[in-house]
Amino acid sequence: MRRTSFHGWPCSIARTVDILGDGWTLLVLREVFFGESRFDGFIGTLGIARNTLTDRLRRLEEAGLLERRAYQSDPVRHAYLLTDKGRDFFGVLAAINAWGDRWQSGDEGVPTVLRHTACGHDTRARVVCSSCDEPLHHEDVTVRTGPGFPPRLLDDPAVRARFPAGEDAGTGP
């Protein structure tokens, strides 16, 4: 059963949740980033039900994060490969991984380690300001409406109180 859609919401987080939907979708993406691309491989590594996997792969393909390419013709079998949009999602997974390493790892330590091949060092994701490279913390950030925020919602005083109009801020991202 399909849940309520957040597709039209004026919030990038809600719209992203609309694509991801649940934990299986994130785990499928994780496996693709780790090198898996075949249906049976996902079944083997995740233990996911075939119908659930079919739904998640279809959702990721429709959203433009994965593309399906035939690698065998008789019977037809497909590999699921990251698109540019899908590759751009890596930072999100790396940030989730860093949070999980900090707050969900047991006494035995982190289960996986990211290694930056360019410099050869182990690393973890950090969220930094795109202008000054300082780490971003929630207490150091304010949210304002952007050009895509629906003007009709600004008629609500509660919305105006939560999201000041964008004119007072700098040039944006």
The answer to the question of residue 81 being in a domain is yes
The answer to the question of residue 172 being in a domain is no
- The pTM of the full predicted model, rounded to 2 decimals, is 0.83
The answer to the question of residue 101 being in a domain is no
For Cα atoms 40, 46, 48, give the angle at the middle one, nearest 5 degrees: 75
pLDDT in tens, the chain (173 residues): 456 778 878 788 888 888 887 889 999 999 999 999 999 999 999 999 999 999 999 999 999 999 999 999 999 999 999 999 999 999 999 999 999 999 999 899 999 999 999 999 999 999 999 999 999 999 999 988 889 888 888 888 998 888 876 654 444 44
Residues 16 and 75 in one domain: yes
Range of the structural domain that residue 150 is part of: 110-164
Residues 83 and 115 in one domain: no
The answer to the question of residue 79 being in a domain is yes
The answer to the question of residue 102 being in a domain is no
Residues 19 and 61 in one domain: yes
The answer to the question of residue 100 being in a domain is no
Residues 39 and 80 in one domain: yes
Q: What is the CATH number of the domain that holds 40?
A: 1.10.10.10
Residues 125 and 63 in one domain: no
Asked which of 30, 52, 87 is the last residue of a domain, the reply is: 87
- Which string of DSSP letters, residue by residue, matches 67-103? EEEEEEETTEEEEEEE-HHHHTTHHHHHHHHHHHHHH
Give the count of domains, the chain.
2
CA distances from 144 to 11, 76, 131, 168 (A): 12, 49, 17, 9
Nearby residues of 48 by Cβ (< 8 Å), 6 or more positions away: 24, 27, 28, 42, 56
Residues 58 and 17 in one domain: yes
144: left (phi over 0), alpha (psi -120 to 50) or beta: beta
Q: Which of 76, 92, 99 is nearest to 33 (CA)?
A: 92
Residues 79 and 125 in one domain: no
**H-run or E-run covering 162:** helix 157-162
Per-residue model confidence (pLDDT) at position 19: 82
The answer to the question of residue 52 being in a domain is yes
Residues 19 and 83 in one domain: yes
Asked which of 30, 54, 87 is the last residue of a domain, the reply is: 87
The answer to the question of residue 45 being in a domain is yes
